[in-house]
Structure 1
Amino acid sequence: MDREILQLLQLIIKRSQSTLLDAERESQATRRQILYRLDKLNVLIEESQHETIKIGQDKEFIVDLATRDFLIKSLFSSTGDKTYYLNKNERKIFLFLCVFVSNEYLSSNHFTDYLTISKSTIFQDLSELSFDLEKEHIRLDYNRVDGYFLTGNEMDIRRYMMMTVISLISQETTHQVLDMVIEKLHLYTFEFSKLIIQELSEKHRISFVEDRLKEFIYIFIFVTHRIIAHSHQQIVDDLPKVEMMPTFKEYDFVDDLVNFFPFRMKMKKQDREYLSSWILGISFGNVLDDTEDCLLIAKLVSKIMTRFEILSGIHYDNIEDKFKHLYAHFRPAYYRLLFKLPIYNPLKDKVKEQYPALFNLVRETMKPMSNLFNQDINDDELTYLTMHFASIFIDEPSKEIIKKKRALIVCLNGIGSSVILHNELKLLFPSIEFLKPIEVSQFDPNRFDVDIIFTTSIFKEIAESSIPVVKVNPIMDDDEKFIVLKEVKAHLGNLHNTMVVADDILSILRNHLGNISEENRLVSDLVGLFYSTNSKETTETQPKRLVDILSKQFIMTQVECSSDLEAVKLSLLPLMKNKMITKNYQNSVVRLQKQSPSYFAITPHIALPHTKSSEGALENGISIVTLKTPLNFGESPNNPIKYLFGLSAVDNESHMKAMSDLLILLNDKDFLKLLDQETNSNKIMNYIVNYDWR
């Protein structure tokens, strides 16, 4: 199988559905070339007595399920195929990693021998790689004595290597390029390193977050060979000082791991600490472990939870379980941020698109943490935190349905996305019983008695399973849900879900209207409509914008109050007069203010008084009160308080969009200036109604 056909095969099975346009973009080939390669691929499929790949009305690849299974197995059976050809991006990765790990003289002749391609192609790839590296302040240099080598800050060079490995493993179905580097340069193999690392991780009770064992193994292989090859490189001045590091089990793990290899004498203390920092950044934290950093991390998690509670209006049930969950995931995030370790979240765009309110709330929650790390927290990290917050607030209704089909979810992207995916699939397939999601490393086809498997990643073991497999994205849009519905229907038949209803409606439309262009799009829209309808029980629980729960009657300007208690009580008066809260709710907020005067002061000059919905929240609502004379709320660093926003929230979800809108306004200097100067509530309300929320 030649390179072009293999690339097309990877594209077709990498996604639930792909099109000719996708193939053209990824391969930079013409449509005629793609169709020619498809013909050659179909010849191989026909020889195996499977149904060939067709092209649909929307230029999408139509692949029979049995054919897809055959192609997946063919791809993985070819991982050891010496004729595997790299695409342009893979070639650049190969060239970079060769230069990264080697202290031998490397010339263009070496690269042409390794890759069996022309010198002109090699020089073009090196030129593009050099351009990519310069954007990261790294230079790819060459001289006749040393050959090709990298110059720049050693931490930056290592971060680039790590980011390259992480993003490749996160996005690609296969990653032969990493194994090719290991083979060509005679490094320690993946399987050999995996055996040692797995044994030692069990010994030291190390659990890797987001199923990241694979990425660590490759990173360990490459970074240790660089340390050996370039022992003169010093990074000690760039590493944060963590005096307690040698007391951690992660350090003991790295110590045992390094001591297993012959290169142990070349690995200095700072090198071991560097590897330990990476382990800390990808392994679960456990609040029950007696670690010297436990109190530090626990205090930070408590601050995060408290700030999120105040900003969001969400109040926790089972707070101990939620604390343990966030601790487990924040501890690695803390060390990633402290050591500036790279992170890649393939779900970033989808989470920001489908959970914008929650993402904005988490971003605002984490703002004070930026000072701790002397950097803004990047969106990839914020996305993981958003997923973890989402996973602990999603309700899981227990409905018993007789004789359900059973399904397993295997999720590469960790617990946050697996909980979201679990709930989305339950809404799509109410007649299927879903087992608790597992990570890729936990998959064993003999352990689970299920009718179907949903997976976010196709890997060798799952490809060889006899159980039907459906590839899904961790967070799906309506088009992707439609594709999944079709595939499940093909495997299990009708399951009395939205797909059946959509198909029935489409049949009626065909009878009355004749031929319908873009039928897939029509059914997708119908599925989206039914899905959104079924996912909300009443219109009351639909997400509300700020303008939906605020009116000019709830705005009071330039009010004179003698104390913080009076101000808090007054901020809730408009909501009580309009029967959105009870007197008991107001009293509960006042009690909280007495107990902790600085609790509601969320940011400079702003307080957000509220309490649990069970104390008497009748409707979602927000009031705005500006004080003529600012007041201190205890010893808060946000004193003096000039603006109060009273909040009533009837649940943990329906007001989230409104809170996101409010946070946008609170970061708008023009809005705060308006509150300072304006006494007319109509003008304040008009400003909000006409606000550009983009």
Structure 2
Amino acid sequence: MDKNLIALIKILVKKSYITRTDLEVETNCSKRQITYRLEKINDLVEAKKLPPIEYGNQKEIIIKTETKNFLIEILRKSYNDKFYYFDKRERIIYLYIMLFMNLEYLSLQHFMSSLKVSRSTILNDLKDLKQELAKENIKISNSRSKGYYISGPELDIRGYMMKLVLLSLEDDHNSVVFDSIIDDYHLESFQFSKKTITELANKYKIHFVGDRLDEFIYIFIFLKARLKNHKNLTEEYLGKPNLDIISEMKEYKFTGELLSYYKDTTGFSEQEFHYITAWILAVSVGNFAEETEDKPIISEIVDRIMIRFEVLSGTHYNEGPEIFKQLYSHIRPAYYRLLFRLPIYNPLYPKIKEEYSELFLLVKETMKPLEGLFDGEIPEEEIAYLTMHFASIYSKKRDYEEVVKKNALVVCSNGIGLSAILYNELKEMFTDLNFYLPIDAVKFKDFDKPVDIIFTTEYQLHLIEQNIPIIKINPIINPRERYEIIRQVYTLLDLSVFKQPSLESIMEIIWKYATISNPTQLYSELLSFFSSSFKLKNEKKEKGYRLIDLISEDCMNLGIDAKDWEEAIRISGNSLVRKNKVTQDYVEKVVENLSPYFVITPLVALPHTRPEFGALSYSIGITVLNRPVEFGNNEKPVKYIFFLSSLDNKKHLPAMSDLLHLLNQKSFFEMLDGTKDKKAVLEYIRCYTSQSTISSSTME
């Protein structure tokens, strides 16, 4: 079947509510192209004597249940169709997997025969693949004796294969290219491997995160094929810590028993056993209640992260043990991903970095001292997942309302942090719905409570078979998405509260009586307008304080002499006491609870304590010493003290983001050292804040 039709059918079965305009935007196709493809789909539908898809210029597209089920069946068959032709991206994936498995000799003719395309197509695809791989430190070469082959660091070669699997399966679980490779090269079947791995996972009580099981199976099949051709880890593996601990884990026993089910695995080295074990750990849930050999190591890392984040952000945990467990569940698999350079795919990374910019920066700064453990910078996609965890910790909460009309369930395939954000976002949007606590997608089949609507982060075909309205949603919602989600929910559940007119109807009226020079921009602005009007009466966006808002001349001490750390803290804190920003008890509590973590970067300390100990306002005092003093018992010298007072865990976060940016500017310290003019300091910070490109948005 035409791949354009398949792509359109995917969108149609995903959405519970969609318009023609939405299809044009999402597919980047013209009105004429969409109309043509809908007509072609309706030809198939009517041939089966099913109700056709109803569509108009701007109106909602209506698909009857029996028609939608037919379209789902078309999708299933398309993936198994022997006449299915790969697109360019799928061909590139196929080529890399062939090279990855390191078959004895690969020529252009091998590629052409496998993919059933011309020589020129293969050459163009190889050219594009070479450009991609060059960014990954991997090279494609060609010789008379070897044919085409890849070379480079083995961990990078494996990591790129894993990345391709992750990205492809993220796209509506499209595994057709991998299934074709398995069939073409007579590898172990996916179903056999899935049955074996599932049984062993149950035996050893290993719980894979969401859909990571399918990813694990495909990666395992291709990795095993490469290992059979003696492409093993060598010097790259040396120096990895805690390998002796890995050998004692249940995941290591799982690996040994799993490999025993297959031929030609007896020669795999101990290094490969460790590698596969680490990979299993990287895609499974960390359970703090389980006494594992690595628990002390992971717990120490989580503890360091929590303390440093608390100091850097000026926030304080109210539910420390629960937060610790939540972070532990993410940090344990992340530890092994980072240690063995295993890839991670976070589709929400760009939105998280944009929408939670201050929090993202704070989390990134929090993780810097841990980079030494992993021989390099921590990928921002990992930072984004951690940001989601901290965002869920500080999300606004509403009191539970007894009177509810409908039951809603959040089904998530990507872990606790993402589902927590989604859960809190939706509770804010729909206070008249009863939300059950989020569940993992694999647990949905065992969920026995009444559900009227499902929200999910990743559409799955088995969910729609329940005949329950399903809405796919990102946890970070822009105005367009917000409008669509609210309309879907109130329309699908027939809730009378929804009183807003249809945007599509308004657009249709405008089209009828006016000439629109830029319909896309008009549609976008109307979306923003209607989305803002949906906000709850008591819901107000809190912009938060920038750094300049929290600093005053009266709370500055420049060019100060202090005999020790305690005097330096008291000088800085007492200036806030005089301006009624904190009480004297607050200063005493800071002195009493002095922590080495207050030293957030060389020569810089950020002391603070809980608001309930005497914070009266939001404020940051600046003290610059003439000579550094040793801070507490950790013998770290400190010259610059930023004494913080805040009343909650949120409004001051933009200011903390500003401060972290400033602390990376050499000119900022040169200015502090070179002046005793408090107005000059204020003006420097004011200019910086006004020119900063940091988004002023904060967590909602």
| TM-score, structure 1 as length reference | 0.90
Aligned partner of 1:682 in structure 2 is: 679
Separation in 2, partners of 1:286, 1:167: 26
Which aligned pairs between 1:302-381 and structure 2 lie closer than 5 A?
302-381=303-382
**In 2: Cα distance, 1:362 partner to 1:662 partner:** 14
Q: CA deviation at 1:556?
A: 2.2
Change (3 A) 1:627 1:79: same
Deviations 1:463-499 (A, max 9, x none): 3221111121232211111111122222112353xx5
Question: Are the structure 2 counterparts of residues 675 and 194 from structure 1 closer, same or farther at C-alpha, using a change threshold of 3 Å?
Answer: same
Deviation of 1:531 (Å): 5.9
Q: Is this contact kept in 2: 1:209–1:414, CA < 8 A? A: yes
Q: How does 1:107-118 map to 2 (within 5 A)?
A: 107-118=107-118
Change (3 A) 1:272 1:495: farther
Q: Is the 8 A contact 1:99 1:150 kept in 2?
A: yes
Residue 499 of structure 2 aligns to a residue whose secondary structure is helix
What per-residue deviation string (whole Å, max 9, x for no partner) do you get for residues 326-349 of structure 1?
122112211211111111211110
Q: Distance in 2 between matches of 1:398 and 1:189?
A: 51
1:284·1:329 contact (CA, 8 Å) conserved in 2?
Answer: yes
After the TM superposition, which residues 409-448 of structure 1 pair with which residues of structure 2 at under 5 Å, given as runs?
409-444=410-445, 447-448=448-449
Where 1:140 maps in the other structure, the secondary structure is strand
Match of 2:24 among 17, 20, 44: 20
CA contact (8 A) 1:601 1:636 kept: no
The answer for the alignment partner of 2:532 in structure 1 is 529
Partner of 2:495: 494
Quote the residue 2:159 is aligned against.
Answer: 159
Q: Which amino acid aligns with 1:165?
A: V
1:572 lines up with 2:573 in the alignment: yes
Q: Could you say which residue in structure 2 is the equivalent of 1:465?
A: 466
**Change over 3 Å in CA distance of 1:297–1:116 after alignment to 2:** same
1:648 aligns with 2:645: yes
**Aligned runs of 1:69-148 on 2, under 5 Å?**
71-101=71-101, 103-143=103-143, 145-148=145-148
CA contact (8 A) 2:246 2:274 kept: yes
Distance in structure 2 (CA, Å) of the matches to 1:306 and 1:124: 52
Report the equivalent of 1:220.
220
1:306, CA displacement in angstroms? 0.9
Q: How far apart are residue 421 of structure 1 and its match?
A: 0.8
Moved more, 462-471 or 129-138: 129-138
In the superposition, relative to structure 1, how do residues 324 and 263 fare at CA in structure 2: closer, same or farther (>3 Å)? Answer: same
Cα distance between partner residues in 2 of 1:224 and 1:19: 41
**What is the one-letter code of the residue matched to 2:566?**
L
What is the rounded CA distance, in whole Å, between the counterparts of 1:629 and 1:102 in structure 2?
62
Instruction: Indicate the percent of aligned positions where both proteins have the same amino acid.
Output: 39
Q: Deviations over 1:500-553 (max 9, x none)?
A: 35769x98x989x9879667535532354346665746x8x5422222222333
User: Is 146-155 or 416-425 further displaced after alignment?
Assistant: 146-155
- Corresponding residue for 2:657? 660
Moved more, 136-145 or 375-384: 136-145
Give the drift of 1:377. 0.8
CA distance in 2, matches of 1:679, 1:533: 48
1:624 has 2:622 as partner: yes
Q: Work out the CA distance in 2 between the residues paired with 1:372 and 1:134.
A: 26
| 1:486-635 equivalence runs, <5 A | 486-494=487-495, 496=497, 500-501=499-500, 520-530=523-533, 536=539, 542-593=543-594, 596=595, 598-635=596-633
Are residues 581 and 657 of structure 1, via their aligned partners in 2, closer, same or farther at CA, if it must alter by over 3 Å?
A: same
Q: Check conservation: 1:14, 1:173, Cα contact below 8 A.
A: no
Q: Please state how far the C-alpha of 1:642 moved relative to its aligned partner.
A: 1.1
**Given that residues 560 and 629 in structure 1 are in contact (C-alpha distance below 8 angstroms), is that contact kept between their aligned partners in structure 2?**
yes
Letter of the 1:613 counterpart: P
* 2:632 counterpart SS class: coil
Separation (CA, whole Å) in 2 of partners of 1:442 and 1:326: 21
Structure 1 spans left out of the alignment, 5+ residues: none
Residue 99 of structure 1: how far off its partner (Å)? 2.6
Aligned to 2:406: 405
1:460/1:500 CA distance change after superposition, 3 Å: same
Q: Secondary structure at the match of 1:443?
A: helix
| Alpha-carbon distance, 1:181 to partner | 1.4
Higher mean C-alpha displacement, 284-293 vs 568-577 = 284-293
Deviation, 1:21, is 5.5
CA distance in 1, matches of 2:35, 2:502: 31
| 1:162, distance to aligned residue in structure 2 (A) | 0.7
* Residue 177 in structure 1 maps to residue 177 in structure 2: yes
CA contact (8 A) 1:456 1:471 kept: yes
Task: Report the secondary structure of 1:82's partner residue.
Answer: coil
**Could you say what the CA RMSD is over the residues aligned between the two structures, in angstroms?**
3.1
Question: Residue 287 of structure 2 contacts residue 328 of structure 2 at CA under 8 Å; is this kept in 1?
Answer: yes
TM-superposition CA deviations, 1:145-178 (whole Å, max 9, x none): 5443322332221111011111222244523112
Deviates more, 1:276-285 or 1:4-13: 4-13
TM-score (norm 2): 0.89
Question: Structure 1 residues 536, 24: CA separation in 2 closer, same or farther (over 3 Å shift)?
Answer: closer
Question: Which moves more between the two structures, 108-117 or 162-171?
Answer: 108-117
Q: Is the Cα contact below 8 Å between 2:154 and 2:236 reproduced in 1?
A: no
Other structure's SS at 1:263 match: coil
Match of 1:396 in 2: 397
* Partner of residue 186, structure 1: 186
Is 1:693–2:696 an aligned residue pair? no
